[in-house]
Chains A and B, each alone.
Chain A
Amino acid sequence: MKDSGMIENARSVDRAATFILVAGISFILLPLVIAAITATQPYETFIEAGGLSFALGGHFLDNMEKILSETKLLRQLGNSLAIATIVAIMKVGFCFLAAYALVFFEGKFRRALFAVMIATVMLPLDLRVITTYQIVANVAMPLNWILDATGANWAIEKVAGFRPYFRLSLLDTYFGTAAPIAANCTAVFIFRQFFLTLPKDLPRAAIMDGAGPIRFMIDIVLPLSKTPIVATLLFFFVGAWTNYLWPLVAASTPDQQTAVVGLARIADSDIDEIPQVPLLMAGALFVSFIPVAMIAVMQRQIVRGLNLSSR
């Protein structure tokens, strides 16, 4: 098809592209490689070498063993798994239902519901962390306000002789850590976008077949949505796993913290000695391994499922 001049040209462009990709991959991998190499060095050689060196040590297993025995990272890894799973399931489950309702049903409140959800995308959790903390510390707080504001409390005090005050703290619980992260509707847009690409006469055909809205969802929409569901599950799992500010404040005891928070705490625990950098690097790899492996293995599904761009 193309003449020889074009092919020559394409080859040089490909060479440039290859160069760019090599540079990009190196840029991404360099910190990880440095972390991995340092994680293999024993503390003593690290100190002697005066810092960064590219010599492989052979102490990788020793360092990992220390991570398991001397820190709480293993337990914290379990916390991360639990919290990230709760977040992913809550978020995807809800967003799927919400988007389903938004696309396939006409309703008075549709626009209002959509507005309520779009707002959650604009203000990330990290911005409202102070007050979210107060709410999670006592989720019954709004109930108390209502009782106070309506005068119900005053009435109860008259009758029963005491003033009711309800309290329930979710700090240091999986649910308390997960729920505020999940209270966000990004996935609604992804599912809405996806549902809009489905054939328009699909619901009509379903109605003709006599299927109700729930049957239609379970039998037809759900199987069709496998790709975006898997992708968003993974995406939110990773998002919750890497979250830092909220888990940092929501769980204060080491036993309840997530692995990412636990790792950062190890970094400033030893104040008298030069920090155990090889150990820290091993810890960073340990904490990142599960989500990176998930992304690496499921790369195709994520890219296909998160096709936000389809218009």
Chain B
Amino acid sequence: MTSTRLAPAAAIALAATAIPAPAADIEFWYGNTGRIETAIQSACTAFNESQSAHKVVCVGQGGYEAGMQKAIAAFRSRQHPVLIQFFDAGTLDLMLSDAVVPVQEAMPDVDWGDYINGARSYYETSTGELFSQPYNGSTLVFYARTDELAKIGVTEIPQTWEAVIETARLLKNSGHDCPFASDAHPWRVLEQFSARHGVAIASNSNGYGGLDAEYTFNGGLVAQHLNNLAEWRQEGLVLLDQDTAAGKYNRAFNAGECAMMEASTGSYAAAYTAHGENVAISMAPMYEGVERRNTLIGGGSIWIMKGHDDEDVDAARAFLDFLRKEDTQIEFTRATGYMPVTKSALTRLENSGEMGDLVFATVELGVSSLNQPGNADSKGIRLGFYVQFRDIFKEETQKAFNGDQTMQEALDNAKRRGDELLRRFEQTYQGATLP
């Protein structure tokens, strides 16, 4: 029996030495890595130095998914942090988890209306209450190499898919091997595409109207676009990751292999480093004759987790207030390329005269893309197990791109498998209502 008793004792000793967080500190878990992680850490340091009442320990989890998985395990053993950052696709999973307190409920005095619409709709309830505080915001834009376009006599950045493909054809005919690059990730070809074209990917306005939504993207404009992409790829006008030498669409663009791409605003810094003034950006292309709607916010937002005492929640409030400050947002933008998400921070940036600076180059364009007039189908995605659906969508469409099935079959399969996920989500959260 001694070994039975000894093992937990040894375990406690080990655990105590490995987790060095004193009780007074609160933790904030985030998923980003690289230079974004550095920026988050310096925001934490700045907060801790700015006051002495609270201390936030910021813990990197090495990825959004790892962070979420760890938060799930931690919540089940009730060791979860007070604050956690999570990415757009997991919004509904967290909303229904009963593990979080809506920020607007926890902090009723904040002027939440200051958040720009494009950043709000993804994270708010049906009654317009923000569930989480938008943090690192990005969106999809179009990138082009002006020097490559000039060679074939194109001086204006194409605004429509028709123009993009015409330009691509000219490039191809002049011997260019990679006119347009993408990775066909659902964030690009499904979510951002459908939102800015004002069409839904699922019924109930992408799930905002209830858990009994069904996917609808296998017909209509989205299906048309994906079929087009497949054809254009056959023609050599559109290249996907696996077709490029660099192995990834943005690497291929930065390495000079490709002339145009659709990418996040966050990719600008690397593209500018590679090509300087020859990189031009504009809003993501539309099909002719369709009214432009808003694009969706990408990146992550910060959630307050349940089950902590008032003291800890106070610290969390103070930290969220600090992150919301105009200066903090502008500093974060300067370091990362993400966009400020409140109107006052944007105004401050405009008035500072720095807006023209390279580091803020994507802000104006990105924000105006987010702030295009919306409709019921461009609010965001509110579908259960959506992270898993993205994998399904990728798998099925990649099979189509690689010639194992037609694109229509791929979309039908993805819809069928996606609907199964939605039904299971509905059953898992039986009795829960959409906030």
Contacts and interface: CB of A to CB of B under 8 A. Distances in A.
A and B touch in the complex (CB under 8 A): yes
Interface of A: 47, 50, 133-134, 137-141, 165, 167-176, 179, 249, 252-254, 256-257, 265, 269-275
Contact of A273 (B11, B61, B254): B254
Given A167-B79, A252-B62, A271 B248 contact: yes
Interface in B60-97: 60-62, 66-67, 69-70, 73-74, 76-79
B18 A172 contact: yes
Main secondary structure of the interface of B (DSSP, over half): helix
A139 B76 contact: no
Nearest 7 CB-CB pairings of A with B: A138-B77, A272-B270, A137-B73, A173-B18, A175-B14, A167-B77, A252-B70
Nearest to A141: B77
B61 A252 contact: yes
B14 A139 contact: no
Interface string B1-42: 000000010111011001100000000000001100000000
Interface in B244-283: 245-248, 250-251, 254-255, 267, 270-271
B270 A273 contact: yes
A169 B36 CA distance: 28
A256 B62 CA distance: 11
A141 B77 CA distance: 8
23 contacts: A134-B73, A137-B79, A138-B77, A138-B79, A140-B77, A167-B78, A168-B8, A168-B11, A169-B73, A169-B74, A173-B15, A175-B15, A176-B15, A252-B62, A252-B70, A253-B60, A270-B34, A271-B248, A272-B250, A273-B251, A273-B254, A274-B251, A274-B255
A269 B245 CA distance: 18
Interface of B: 8, 10-12, 14-15, 18-19, 33-34, 59-62, 66-67, 69-70, 73-74, 76-79, 245-248, 250-251, 254-255, 267, 270-271
Contacts of B250: 271-272
Nearest to B270: A272
Given A169-B79, A254-B62, A269-B33, A274 B74 contact: no
A137 B77 contact: yes
Contact of B254 (A170, A175, A272): A272
B15 to A, nearest CB: 6
Contacts of A137: 73-74, 76-77, 79
B43 to A, nearest CB: 18
